Amino acid sequence: MRERGHGMAEEKIATEVAGRICAIPVEPGAKVGAGEDVVLIEAMKMEIGASSERGGRVKSILVQSDEMVEEGQVVAIVES
């Protein structure tokens, strides 16, 4: 999901599954590449990544480790 704001495009990264946040491998301000995981969700005994489509700089992380998330929940915002 991409939105325009203040001259930069924002990508809202959402989960594809419900589960528990098991890892957050990046921090706000970090650069991420296209397809790079921003958070990992544990669901059905698997780790499933929520990744950036185009890459850019992580504007914010909206979840914490061990937090339960719902399918479709926005977990991070990346600016490109």
Per-residue model confidence (pLDDT) at position 2 = 45
Q: In what order do the strands lie in the sheet with 46-51?
A: 46-51, 37-43, 19-23, 68-69
Give pTM, 2 decimals.
0.86
pLDDT of residue 51 exceeding 60: yes
Average pLDDT score over residue span 28-34? 97
Q: For a pLDDT cut of 90, what percent of the chain falls above it?
A: 85
Tens digits of per-residue pLDDT, 57-75? 999 999 999 999 999 999 9
Q: How confident is the model at residue 46 (pLDDT cuts 50, 70, 90)?
A: very high
Measured in whole angstroms, the distance separating CA 4 from the mean position of its chain's CA atoms is: 18
For each of the domains in the chain, give its residue range(s) and CATH number, in order of start. 2-79 (2.40.50.100)
